Amino acid sequence: MHAITAGPSEAGARPTFAKRAFYVLKAWLQAPMDVATLCPSSPYLTRKLANRDCVKNARCVIELGPGAGGTTQALLEYMRPDAKLLAVEKSTVFSEPLHAIHDPRLEVAMDDACALAEIAAKHQFGLVDAVVSGIPFSSMPPAVAKTIAQSIHQVLRPGGVFVAYQIRDHVNEFARPLFGPAETEAIPMNFPPLTLYTWTKVCVAQQDAADRRGQNEIVHDQCA
Ligand SMILES: C[S@@+](CC[C@H](N)C(=O)[O-])C[C@H]1O[C@@H](n2cnc3c(N)ncnc32)[C@H](O)[C@@H]1O
């Protein structure tokens, strides 16, 4: 386990909510199925995403779908000073606000999460501690959603955590076969209200032991 933890810190000038909403609207007009919302995540949600041990203790985090960077800024505020964050965003509309975040811990990849394993390798991110995702699994073709879920599982270290904030439940269909059941939390203070899902990648040794005991279910205890 990592010893150093970080509390909230200054992670660069924060664009106003209205400015971020402008970028979201612009991106939505270009690709509504990818953006899937007209409103950036609320401060309540961004704090819920970032103020958790898997982010505060992490050395390497990948964010999928950072949009205009409100969630990115929140993650950076809580991450360790020596941690790294790779933000992967498909819409070029968000290139400007994401590149305006001046934080040496942040790397931005304007790319499609479908190629997550290759993107992580290119940025020399080995197995990561956490993947935080806002990409809408409900509005993408099932084959694409399955590929992305498998890539997330692949880039996480054993005991690593996958966090997804979603309006609909489709993400479960793709993540559950890989990770087992999620912990869920309703987030009413966001527009629209949504659900926060958390999965922990099984430690192989624990799964082997469970399999030997004849238990077919996925084991959830986090690796030491
Ligand atoms: C619901 S918005 C979340 C934006 C921001 N994180 C927030 O909470 O305000 C979803 C984001 O995922 C991005 N996205 C959708 N599909 C993607 C993909 N396959 N790869 C990377 N980003 C994707 C969209 O462009 C959009 O920025």
Rounded to the nearest angstrom, the distance between the alpha carbon of 102 and the centre of ligand 1 is 20
Who's near 165: CB < 8 A, 6+ residues apart?
41, 45, 49, 133, 134, 187, 194, 195, 196, 197
Binding site membership of 69 for ligand 1 (Cβ less than 6 Å): no
Atom of ligand 1 nearest to the CA of 37: 1
Predicted confidence band of residue 215 (pLDDT cuts 50, 70, 90) = low
Return the H-helix or E-strand segment holding 149.
helix 142-155
Phi, psi of 151 (to 5 degrees): -65, -40
Binding site membership of 97 for ligand 1 (Cβ less than 6 Å): no
What are the b/e assignments for 35-69, b being 16+ CB within 10 Å? bbbeebbbeebbebbbebebbbbbbbbbbbbbbbb
Binding site membership of 133 for ligand 1 (Cβ less than 6 Å): no
Picking from 9-23, 137-151, 195-209, which range would have the lowest pLDDT averaged per residue?
9-23
Q: What is the structure's pLDDT at 219?
A: 47
Residue 3 CB neighbours (<10 A) = 6
**Per-residue pLDDT tens for 84-141?**
999 999 999 999 999 999 999 999 999 999 999 999 999 999 999 999 999 999 999 9
Q: Are 217 and 70 in contact (CB under 8 A)?
A: no
Rounded to the nearest angstrom, the distance between the alpha carbon of 17 and the centre of ligand 1 is 16
**Per-residue pLDDT tens for 130-186?**
999 999 999 999 999 999 999 999 999 999 999 999 999 999 999 999 999 999 999
- Structural domains of the chain, ranges and CATH numbers in brackets: 17-212 (3.40.50.150)
Rounded to the nearest angstrom, the distance between the alpha carbon of 64 and the centre of ligand 1 is 7
